[in-house]
Structure 1
Amino acid sequence: MTDIPKEGKLTRFLDFTQLIDMASECVGGKVLFATDDFFAPAENLIKSDSPSFKEHEYTEFGKWMDGWETRRKRIPGHDWCVIQLGVQGIIRGVDVDISYFSGSYAPRISIQAANLNEENVPTMPPRGVKTGAAATPEEFEAISELNSDSWDYLVPMSELKLGDPDSSHNYFFVNSQQRWTHIRLNIFPDGGIARLRVYGTGQRDWTSSDSKEPVDLVAIAFGGVCVGFSNAHFGHPNNMIGNSPDSCQVDGCVLTTQEEEDMVRNQWILPAHKWKPLLPVTKLSPDQTHVLDSLTLELQDVITHARFTIIPDGGVSRLRLKGFPSSICLLRPLREKPTLKFSLKAGFRANL
């Protein structure tokens, strides 16, 4: 086992949080192994949404918690888990979020990493539903092939600090220029962590690619990243070069010129009843053009504004709303009014 470096300190430089979360489930991150998942499974660590708290909810094993929580150690050692990064590349920093774990968070952590070839990663037994269980001898045997206890340290053993109960982030800067594919999160000796964010930039192994086939050079998996933007209130521009959205919906409304100006000043906070559904939540497929009919077979209302929502995030290259000008549409008999059609192309999904 490699020597454990001296205790680390929290970083004050939070610029790396503008980068992508390379471990997130939404980009293909996956938990390969965890020593224990008794109170809550390690898969919660890489959820894309923020942690939540349900005051009166319990499981058969205890209080329901939105994170990874292990039982108290009755034997020597500490708990740890191994995560396969969804985007492989250079890690700039990590966020260890212990929100809502005010009485049971892990006191200390360390993070190790490795750059592994896919063929060298053993086939792990399916984890399934892990709440209330510990790793099996079969799982320990499989993960031992990775020798993860000897991986390089990105974050040495470091103390976690609890801030606000509902927002306790611990940020650590990573000083490494190497490419990484897997990380090991160690908690000392046990306890809970809500989320683990691994921020960085993708870096592709170009030696394994076909030089005759074009690729999307701006894809986040290959190192694409936004280095400047004018406004990111509704989402960081990096989302445009990530995966395609899972689904989308379109709503419409009728506004006067003055109402439009008011909405711009109020960041489009419009009463819900003003919006009329034009397209329900609809599943999308990556790198495909979709032609979709509106929710109503015969659209009777004139629409001046449309709101296009992608769920949960991602990239869309074009959106077309095909219909008729109001001066023509309103003159048609009801039975002849056309169906509004939507044409859009979801973003390219890299082979993560």
Structure 2
Amino acid sequence: MTIGDQPAQTAGSFTALTDFTGDALPYGGGNPYADYRRARLPFAGLAHLTDRRLGAGIIAANDEFFAERENLLLPGPAVFDPEHFGHKGKIMDGWETRRRRGVSAEVPHPDIADHDWALIRLGTPGVVRGIVVDTAHFRGNYPQAVSVEATAHSLSAAPEDLLDSDVEWTELVPRTPVGGHAENAFAVHVERRFTHLRLRQHPDGGVARLRVYGDVAPDPGWLTELDTFDLVALENGGVVEDASDRFYSPPEHTILPGRSQKMDDGWETRRRRDAGNDWIRYRLVEQGVIRAVEIDTACLKGNAAGWASLSVRDGAEGEWTTLIPRVRLQPDSVHRFLVNPIPSTHVRIDIFPDGGISRLRLFGSLTKNGLARLTEHTEAVS
């Protein structure tokens, strides 16, 4: 496996998708991303498990002297302002620790085991497939190496719970050299369900962003007690399998929590100049029956879809059955429909002719077979 011209390095539980190491050039003015070392990431379509909108958070770090740990999970690329200084020094958009020192004048360098760490709560339990340690703008002050471990615990675990010596941590990425001002990417091959990560930087330095991608692994017992829930919500294990167009914003936005807050927080396609239409195909968390549907066009005012229809099928090769025939959509509005419950595993929304929607909610419950399969899968990765 290779990513562009960068050889992939496989070692047990992970594959290094990039081989960036060493310093980047000092900032020389102009666009700070002009010499940024990017990776081709094979994680498109996977859930972003460290998305704050799902409930992810940085719950502890041993040091954040120069820059706060919370910056690790901020959305969007890190920002660099060469004139931004504070009373502690240069203010960076990332997590940055102080410089470590040795124990004496005779031993001025840090010990090989010295490192800084941060504890990260995933937004939802999941199987990790990919990790990106982004050192954007950390050109000579990035860590020499990083490592990542994971554990399964209560989502509300306190730092002291996770730091208890009895907690079992699984190594996802062993201590691996990284590069400054670069997207350092790793594919993970551990088929386990986790809730928390521990990022270590060796021996110190700064990381701009941490992105973790994977498959949501919900708690079947929780969903069973809820009975009626959103069968396609990302946080419950729903997945966007395919879409006709991703030009302005991705279809995965349609299954995020909450209402859209701005236009690009939903799904918007380019303008069609043919006789076709746009669509998204979803896979439900498991086989279920949908009883109520909500199609939201929030913040899409001059570019909302004109009409929409909804179809379902049971199984990847099943026949499509119309659940909601083509109906008129209004801009910036919530549309609600009660529907005939039909056992299904997949849903397709067609919009006419183009435009977009911000959210799709499919309220229902799992069938007996769906619950059994979901329980079996969760037990297999726990």
Which consecutive unaligned segments of at least 5 residues does structure 2 have?
1-10, 19-39, 103-110, 265-269, 274-293, 305-326, 336-357, 363-382
Partner of 1:79: 116
Q: Does 1:306 align with 2:324?
A: no
Deviation at 1:9, TM superposition (A): 5.5
1:129-168 C-alpha deviation (Å, 9 max, x unpaired): xxxxxxxxxxxx56533656x5100111111123xx4xx2
Distance 1:23 1:220 in 2: 13
* Residue of structure 1 equivalent to 2:241: 227
| Residue number in structure 2 paired with 1:19 | 46
- Aligned AA for 1:306? G
Corresponding position: 1:244 with 2:240:
no
For 1:180 and 1:50, how far apart are their aligned partners in 2? 26
8 Å Cα contact 1:21/1:197 also seen in 2: yes
Change (3 A) 1:84 1:58: same
- The aligned residue for residue 153 of structure 1 is 171
Who is 2:196 aligned against?
A: 182
Comparing both chains, which one has the higher relative contact order based on Cα–Cα distances under 8 Å and sequence gaps of 6 or more?
1
Give the TM-score normalised by structure 2: 0.58
Native 8 Å contact 1:92 1:199 kept in 2: yes
Aligned residues of 1:39 and 1:71 also touching (Cα < 8 A): yes
**SS of residue matched to 1:320:** coil
Q: Which residue of 2 aligns with 1:130?
A: none
In structure 1, the residue matched to 2:16 is 10
**Structure 1 stretches of at least 4 aligned residues deviating more than 4 Å after TM superposition:** 5-9, 262-265, 287-292
- Is 1:57 aligned to 2:57, yes or no? no
Q: Distance in 2 between matches of 1:106 and 1:347?
A: 39
Partner of 2:138: 101
**Structure 1 residues 234, 34: closer, same or farther in 2, change over 3 A?**
same
Query: What letter is aligned with 2:151?
Result: A
The superposition leaves residues 3-47 of structure 1 with CA deviations (integer Å, 9 ceiling, x where unpaired) of: xx8997522683224322111222211111101000001110011
| Cα drift, residue 227 of structure 1 | 2.1
Task: Give the Cα separation in 2 of the matches to 1:56 and 1:113.
Answer: 37
Hey, what does 2:163 align to over in structure 1? 144
Asked if the contact 2:296/2:333 (under 8 Å) is kept, the reply is: yes
1:89 is matched with: 126
Is residue 295–residue 361 contact of structure 2 (8 Å, CA) maintained in 1?
Answer: no
Unaligned residue ranges in structure 1 (runs of 5+):
125-140, 251-261, 266-286, 293-304, 309-316, 322-341
- Structure with greater helix percent: 1
Specify whether residues 143 and 320 from structure 1 end up closer, same or farther in structure 2 by C-alpha distance, changes over 3 A only. same
Structure 1 pair 238/69, CA: closer, same or farther in 2 (3 Å)? same
Amino acid at match of 1:91: V
* Paired letter, 1:53: F
Structure 2 counterpart of 1:274: none
Check if 1:196 corresponds to 2:196. no
**Counterpart of 1:145 in structure 2: which amino acid?**
D
What does residue 173 of structure 1 align with? 187
SS at 1:306 equivalent:
coil
Is the 8 Å Cα contact of residues 7 and 158 (structure 1) preserved in structure 2?
A: no
Give SS of 2:164's match.
Answer: helix
Q: CA deviation at 1:72?
A: 0.8
1:11 and 1:239 mapped to 2: Cα distance?
A: 26
Partner of 2:290: none
Paired residues, number: 252
Are 2:72 and 2:94, in contact at CA under 8 Å, matched by a contact in 1? yes
Structure 1 or 2, whichever has the larger Rg, is: 1
- 1:105 to 1:85, Cα distance in 2 relative to 1, 3 A: same
Q: Describe the shift of the 1:319–1:39 C-alpha distance in structure 2 as closer, same or farther (beyond 3 A).
A: farther
Seen in structure 2, the aligned counterparts of structure 1 residues 55 and 201 have a Cα distance that, compared at 3 Å, is same
Q: Between 42-51 and 203-212, report the one with greater CA deviation.
A: 203-212
Report if aligned partners of 1:201, 1:220 keep a CA contact under 8 Å in 2.
no
1:9/1:158 contact within 8 Å kept: no
Determine helix, strand or coil for the equivalent of 2:117. Answer: strand
Q: Among 147, 157, 167, which residue is 1:110 paired with?
A: 147
Tell me if the contact between 2:142 and 2:179 (Cα under 8 Å) persists in the aligned partners: no
Q: Indicate the residue corresponding to 1:137 in structure 2.
A: none
Which SS does the other structure have where 2:70 is aligned? helix
Give 1:48's aligned residue: 75
1:37 paired residue among 32, 43, 64: 64
Query: TM-score, with normalisation over the residues of structure 1?
Result: 0.62
The one-character-per-residue Cα deviations of 1:244-277 (angstroms, maximum 9, x if unpaired) are 3452469xxxxxxxxxxx9768xxxxxxxxxxxx
